[in-house]
Structure 1
């Protein structure tokens, strides 16, 4: 019988780990990158093509789906998996980040957050209990605890207060999840470590979360403008404070070189809008770094987006053609660019898993970073 949630580590190399999460809807190979399907769609992609890129799991968003089409409607229509045609695991974030970043007239108190929708100005409240209820209605496989996010530039007093409240909300999230009946019997819940860049606050948060007990643990509050050096400085200690036998998820990250550095520091799961958003704005990721297909120099370039890439896009279309699509604002341009970028990210994760298994991660990571600074030329 397939377990509700089982995480195994198959190999390690330094702090890095490779393994798998097994759930009823399928296995998630780690380190894993989760394409973002904010509003029940990975933009410009069909679910089958997302799966073909190598994705084992995608991310959906509580905030956006509660506003439109509403979690209650999704539940009536059979749940998020049936609604969007994705039959593998889905992780839903709690909505906390979007409440803080997208909403007007936000009011926070111990109960939760009251805000006005960025769509129509309607008033809503998300509490830990409501966040878990929405994720249950969506049918999420991995549920995230509701937390309070504050900028890393906030005073330590503000950061400490937000971390402490997040831990109280984590307890309420766990209790609400455990009361979820059949959903709790097949889904998992992750807690979110907070504390900005402060090692002591992070340690206190990790201790509180571990005492509550979760299936996995996220490092939250990063990738919010602090820069890569500061983020890596935090990741030098934050993952080590979390249970070693549970998956560690770095929320909202990131650029390919961010992911490589975070894997070296013990992170197992990632999500980011970058590959899909970049695909819609003309940026392609390559082994030699990102390239902007809007640039005129690609107008007669008959090479693939990335000569080292085995994706269907690179095997079929030229930079010149995709340049034409992008400059003409043809929707096929966004579709092809997004497909390539998702294949690139999933190939990177596969390469990382293989390098860890072979205990050659340092060689791979250093080689990747060196090559990523040099854009490949056509035909290379």
Structure 2
């Protein structure tokens, strides 16, 4: 594998400046595209690479781009947006990319914007990522000065402006249409679909929103080709590498760039070093807080979109939250539901009213005040707040850890209710 996404990201070492990035082959893909590839060719190459969105949805990136109207009669301006909000609990991979190699993201955005003929781009950044913001501003200034951004880039006639927008810290902004409303200065609530952003997005114009990790893959695909990228993967489900992570009571918490499709066992035992001494694995949220638990019975599941879905969960961001046998599942899930209840935008009734209700029920169970009928209420909420019953995916995502906790750790809930206390 040549030049993986994280090759030049080392703890304690500042990221490469423009000159250093160029010395490693940086911006070669931009030169290649602007001097000899059409937007349609870039789109097709990315589509053939089987790059799937690394933000959690797992949709083919090139196919997503293909829905943008093209040609002289297409409405404009068009927009390309990097979703760098990264507010999902347990998720921290995009921060590593932005702080470790900001020019890689900028190059990926230039290529992606060219592929859809966008003339304006934004990085929508989480407010707390202050170091990333500083580094991105500096790198963007360098890119403008070198002619990689602005008007008539490298004499090609292609124009692209790039802006950094810092969000106010709402989880809801991770949903792409809520992000668009926030960029427009409106309340961050999701929009009805259709129309989809590819046709009518920011300010009513064609817009593509891609995750940071997704965009960072684009220069490598352009330089090395679709077949090379697909060959990096262990899985036919998706091409390329993936930044996986693990947090919790493991010996080596962190993040690692690995071929797509490594097993859960490999991640936990080989890379995370296994559980800390004295602790046993009880469950794993494989892709952040809004995914279903997997258990010790799922250790040989491949960490790709299809395999994890077949096991009853979602790959999501690929950054695992590991729960040990000394952690109370009820308290664990209550903490997540408290977060989701706070972060609801309040737009639809099931999410606005249902999530606080779920949070209060779990709190009462954790305090030893639970009742038998609470179990029925929780099961009811996992159905009524599930897919198809809310305006967006926030509440259904919040229900995933709850419904799987009830499935796998139901005895823990019953012990709380029966013994009138938390047994942990």
Query: TM-score, normalised on structure 2?
Result: 0.28
Structure with max Cα Rg: 2
